[in-house]
Each structure stands twice: as structure tokens, then as C-alpha cells.
Amino acid sequence: MVESNFITAEEYLKHFYEVPPLPNLPLADEDFILHWHEAEKNAAIDFLQSLYGMDFNFDWRNVDAIKISFIQTHAGKLPSIYMENHDDFTALSSFVSGRIEIKPLPVTVNAFTIPVKIRGVRHKVILLNRAPYSNVAAEKLNLSDEDWLEKSQKIRLRHESAHYETLRLFGGMKSHALDEILADAVGQVAAFGNFSAARQKIFFGLNGGECTGRLSFYVQKVLPAEREKVYRAVDCVLDKIEGEISNCNDLEIICRIAGKSIADRLANG
């Protein structure tokens, strides 16, 4: 019997999205974007406090660096809140989620696409903190610190946009290895010009059946004794995906990865 609240590795690896015929893109902006039309004209925290109707009581570390802009995705525009301090990122992620109490976040987490309700209206917003992606050191990628920070920001922005695109185009977004591969794939292309399985294994902290990085956050629903199976499956499938999407454009990458499960990719050689 499977332990309560856990699933098997086999069940986990079956996740994929039905990819319907797509309409003309980008999709029209969602109505909530109208609530953000003054965002770029005001100090970010002042605007957000006004929008939420609440005070964000926090000793901001670098409040002048907190900026709001709009990102065009295949699924319409999204507001993006940018900052340069992990404590500020942690506090703001709690506040925009409607929590007074600040919930600690690991240093590897520096981006979110957050669904929130503001004055009865459902919104989506991207939060981004400037930091090395996946807490990976620049030297692991043979890059300078500044170049890696710039590339990290490109990956994060495209990554979070991709989650919003799967939500509006395919009807869902999940904290799952397949979704993370998809989002990182288009993020890698945006930053590096290509997708590398070896690079992705570094981002995931993955080495065969061992994981010392962020992939471990996306398998929390899997039976602890079976998580190694997921790690090995992901390690193997990344090499297949690198070849599968090598000549694809941005939208083709999203559709190809989303439409086929990790299990099916491994079963079909």
C-alpha cells in the first residue's frame, strides 16, 4: 500500500499535458493587468501597498532596487517585480501572497510565478531576485560572476513566463520535474542560445540517482524510497530531450516537452 499523501515514482513520471491546437499568439492580456497600469510610474513598494490595501512592514534591505515592469509572453503580459536582495525577495513573496508572517525561503529559490487574489480579483505576478541561478557558482559554467548574473536573470524571466504559458495554453502549471525541464529549457535558450542536458543537470544538482540541488524540491510528493528512481529517470531523459529540441523554436520547445511524459520518453527509447 502506498503511504498516505505520497505517490509512486511510476505515477509521478506519467505527468504530461494535452497540447491542443493553439490559437493566434500571444493571447489577449488577462483583465487583471488593468489594475497594474500605474505600476511603472510609482515607487514599487508604495504602488504595491496601495494595490493590496495593506502596509508591508519590513526593514527593506535594498528598496530602491525593487522595480516593476511588464513581460510579454505567448499567453499575454505579466507584471514582474524585480529585486536584488534575498531577504527582500522572501518578504515580498509572503506579502504578495497575502501573508503577514514572512515564510523563509532557501537561497536556491529566487523566482516565483504567484497566483494571488487582490480585492476579489485573481492576479498572476512574477517575482525575481538577482542571484546566481539555482545557486550555481559561475565557475561551474566557466563564466564570470557578472555574466552569470545576467544570464541567470534571463533564465529566471523566461522560466517563470513558461509556467504562465502552460497554465493558459494547456490548462495547468505544476511543481514537477517535467514542468521545470520545460521552463529551464526555454530559459537556457534565452540565456545561452541552446539547451544543454549537462548544464541542466548542474542546475538540478543531479548526478545519476543522487540529487543535491533543487530537483529535490519537486519530488516531495514521491515516496522517499522511490525518489532515486525519479532522479535516474530525469538524468536519462535530459539527454534525450537535448536531441529532441535541438532545432526547435521557443514555442515548439514548450509544446514538445509538455506533450510527452518522462515515462513515455524513456519507454520509447
pLDDT tens digit sequence for 54-66: 899 999 999 999 9
- State the Cα angle at 115 between 111 and 118, rounded to 5°: 120
- For residue 192, what are the contacts with CB-CB under 8 A and spacing of at least 6? 151, 199
Q: Name the burial class of residue 106, with classes exposed (0-12), middle (13-18) and buried (19+) by CB atoms within 10 angstroms of its CB.
A: exposed
Query: What are the strands of the beta sheet with 121-129, ordered from one edge?
Result: 67-73, 76-83, 121-129, 111-118
* Integer Cα distance of 49 and 214 in angstroms: 32
pLDDT higher than threshold 90 for residue 90: yes
pLDDT value for 2: 54
Cβ–Cβ < 8 Å for 131, 83: no
pLDDT value for 1: 47
pLDDT digits 0-9 by tens, 99-141 = 888 989 888 889 989 888 888 899 999 999 999 999 999 999 9
pLDDT higher than threshold 90 for residue 16: yes
Q: Write down the H helix ranges in the chain.
A: 9-12, 44-52, 86-96, 145-170, 177-192, 197-204, 227-244, 250-258, 262-267
Determine the average pLDDT of the residues in 3-7.
82
**Which pTM does this prediction carry?**
0.93
From the list 190, 174, 156, the residue with the least C-alpha distance to 82 is 156
In this structure, the dihedral spanned by the alpha carbons of residues 37, 40, 46 and 51, taken in order and rounded to 10 degrees, is 20
pLDDT higher than threshold 50 for residue 207: yes
**Cis peptide before 21, with omega less than 30 degrees from 0?**
no
Mean pLDDT taken over the chain: 94
> Residue 75 CB: number of other CB atoms within 10 A?
23
pLDDT value for 28: 97
Kindly list the domain boundaries of the chain, sorted by start residue.
Answer: 1-17+172-269
pLDDT higher than threshold 90 for residue 98: no
The rounded Cα 46 to chain-centroid distance in angstroms is: 26
pLDDT digits 0-9 by tens, 21-71 = 999 999 999 999 999 988 988 899 999 999 988 899 999 999 999 999 999
Question: 5: pLDDT confidence band, cut at 50, 70 and 90?
Answer: confident
